A and B are shown apart, each in its own frame.
Chain A
Amino acid sequence: MAGREPENVGTLVSPGSDVLGPGHSYGSVTDKISAIVLTRGTGNKYKVGFGLAVALLLMLNFGVTVLFAIGVGIWGINIPVGWGFAITNFVWWIGIGHAGTLISAFLLLMRQKWRTSINRFAEAMTLFAVACAGTFPLLHMGRPWLFYYLLPYPDTMGVWPQFRSPLVWDVFAVSTYATVSLLFWYVGLIPDLATLRDRATKRFKQALYGIFALGWRGSARHWKRYEMAGLLLAGLATPLVVSVHTVVSFDFTIALVPGWHSTIFPPYFVAGAIYSGFAMVIALAVPLRKYYGLEDFLTVRHLDNMGKIMLGTGMIVAYSYVMETFMAFYSGNKFDIFMIMNRMTGPYAAVYWTLIATNLVIPQLLWSAKIRRNALWLWVLSFSVQTGMWLERYMIIITSLHRDFIPSSWGMFYPTKWDYIIFVGTIGLFFTLFYLFIRFLPMISIFEMRDLVHKTAEEAKS
């Protein structure tokens, strides 16, 4: 397999568009993206970042070991607050994942061309975020080694999971979501793995990428079925992603606790998930763009669009906050009114107002096109949103549980160092996986970029 030197014999050159820098050909996009994996190697910044992520991952391992050895008593959870950091983190992580699926599935169905250069790493983000999310319900079990009790299997005791419980729905929703995200991601990778197989120069890499490329040859028959499969997966993943966070919100709404028992939760949670997910996509995209010089592929238009989606979903979230407050008073239910007043003025008032500031007030800056088009500003704002979204889940869980109906059962939740160690540790897990991903797999879909080169050139001609 010779002919690996770039020789762009008479191929077409795209004049570019608002989603692709000018002067790119099939060869140039292929080389640029595959070089990150095949020839660029690992720079010092990469090594430092990866080292840091692995250090945090080791901290997670330490925290989890202690947790398994001693039990969930090392956390701050108690009665009445039985769901502390673990469930907050679970909802936060799974929400982050949702943007990846939305970009790859929903924007595909909507024929949004700008998704092309962000879908691959957003899908990877989904996968890793779901991995982080999935650990928390398991860690949260008092006896995690009995996790398989959640699965329906004909056991010797003759009992079955409670299929009418949203917690069991969650098991199915999250595991289906993880599986479908993996399938979608892998199917998207197949043609690119073939490209890497053909461009790799070392025997080992050729073999490894070759195995996972399954012998892809880019035949017209293959492409036809492939495109159909992509469309079908997108059509399946779009309702799935909505259902997953709806089921997550059912974990709360189906309970009778004031602050949880509300019909607004499903859309409110889905919007919040996409909101925090896009914040994470921006948090990852901005440094990648800068470090790997991908300004041609991740253009200002991409930043602008992501900022707009963040603003739009943020407004839905803001509306939900307002409606929650309004409905509490409108209902005349004294427990609901107390719950809202307790959030705003009770012992966790600081959490509530920080959340309002970071999630609702500060993101209003996104109305300005100048800020949406400024990578640094957008990056900073994405952290504000992620903080806000974490605090939102914390607020929903803690302030609702700590003072419910009977004052004699009230209590407080104080996180311990183990709560923080395990939470920050999963950030290490996420970034370790992400660093490995950008080192070994193309972070932008190469074949879709070639398609984009073709389409933009066609458009310019006509």
Chain B
Amino acid sequence: MIHRQSNYGLMAEFLSAEELLEATKHTAEAGYREIDAYSPFPIEGLSEAIGFHRTRLPVLVFCGGLLGTCTGFFLQWWPNVIGYPQNIGGKPLDSWPAFIPITFELTILFAALTTTFGMIALNGLPAPYHPVFNVERFAHASRDSFFLLIKSADPKFDAEQTRQFLAELNPREVSEVES
């Protein structure tokens, strides 16, 4: 069956975090894979329910931090040892303990920048337009309502059957998401 291209998916609205979590688990069990859930605050277990278990963010942040450490140390080591070495009272050029504070600060700085921009980039933001915003009630996703989306890209998606499936989950309403 060929779907209308203008349809991004079907969205069901729920009135509580528990209902959304239940419904999402049901949907995943029913074999839907291209799903997403929206809530006004983070809900424990919801991302696992849509099949999203781990984020790569910590690995990225570790790499960012490591890069900061190397940058911070090299930034001080090079001028003092190679670029502009000065013999001051016979003290060692590579006086590394004195380089620790700046190395530490740059580690934190790079890691924090990676965290922030990594989170934004992995989330695909900034995204000024997204089809879900076409649903009128979706303005409540940032206030007091909970939404479950099944995308039309899902292999199991069928305009009629999926709508019926969602309706059986006892939502407040089911609406079409125009793309």
Contact = CB atoms under 8 A, between A and B. Distances in A.
Chain B contact patch, size range: 35 or more
Given A3-B137, A27-B144, A199-B143, A229 B101 contact: no
Nearest to A34: B143
A256 interface: no
B116 A4 contact: no
Contacts of A362: none
A247 B100 CA distance: 11
Nearest to B140: A3
B166 interface: no
Interface in A70-115: none
Contacts of B38: 217-220
B136 A221 contact: no
B125 A229 contact: no
B50 A220 contact: yes
A223 interface: yes
Interface string B129-157: 11011001111111110000000000000
Given A169-B105, A221-B47, A233-B116, 18 more contacts: A3-B136, A4-B139, A9-B172, A11-B16, A30-B144, A160-B79, A160-B80, A183-B112, A198-B140, A214-B120, A214-B125, A218-B40, A220-B39, A221-B123, A223-B41, A228-B119, A233-B115, A243-B105
Interface of B: 15-17, 24, 36-43, 46-47, 49-50, 52, 55, 57-58, 61, 75-76, 79-80, 83-84, 95, 98-99, 101-102, 104-106, 108-109, 111-113, 115-116, 118-120, 122-123, 125-130, 132-133, 136-144, 172
Given A163-B79, A164-B98, A451-B41, A239 B108 contact: yes
A4 B47 CA distance: 27
A233 B112 contact: yes
A225 B57 contact: yes
Given A183-B113, A199-B143, A218-B141, A225 B79 contact: no
A9 to B, nearest CB: 6
Given A225-B57, A243-B104, A450-B41, A198 B123 contact: no
B130 to A, nearest CB: 6
Contacts of A197: 142
Contacts of A247: 101, 105
A152 B75 contact: yes
Contacts of A421: none
Contacts of B113: 179, 183
A3 B128 CA distance: 20
Given A214-B126, A216-B125, A228-B55, A223 B143 contact: no
Contacts of A383: none
A214 B80 CA distance: 43
A225 B15 CA distance: 24
Given A26-B40, A217-B132, A220-B36, A173 B101 contact: yes
Contact of B108 (A4, A215, A236, A448): A236
Interface in A230-283: 232-233, 236-237, 239-240, 243, 247, 250
A173 B100 CA distance: 12
Contacts of A9: 15, 172
A224 B115 CA distance: 13
B44 to A, nearest CB: 10
Nearest to B117: A183
Chain A contact patch, size range: 35 or more
Contacts of A160: 79-80, 83-84
A152 B74 CA distance: 12
A450 B40 contact: yes
Interface string A187-221: 10001001101110000000000110011111111
A182 B24 CA distance: 35
A221 B36 contact: yes
Sort A-B residue pairs by CB-CB distance and give the 7 closest, nearest first.
Answer: A26-B144, A229-B119, A215-B127, A160-B79, A224-B47, A214-B126, A223-B42
Contacts of B61: 232
Nearest to B55: A225
A444 B144 CA distance: 17
Interface string A425-462: 00000000000000000000001101100100000000
A56 to B, nearest CB: 32
A180 B126 contact: no
A195 B145 CA distance: 12
A223 B47 contact: yes
Given A195-B143, A225-B123, A229-B116, A176 B105 contact: yes
Contact of B57 (A1, A25, A187, A228): A228
Contacts of B122: 225
B37 A194 contact: no
Nearest to B113: A183
Interface string A161-191: 0011010110011001001100110110001
Contacts of B172: 9
Nearest to A12: B16
A210 to B, nearest CB: 7
A172 B71 CA distance: 13
Given A164-B98, A451-B41, A158 B108 contact: no
A57 B15 CA distance: 48
A240 B115 CA distance: 15
Nearest to B78: A160
A2 B41 CA distance: 21
Contact of A236 (B98, B99, B115): B115
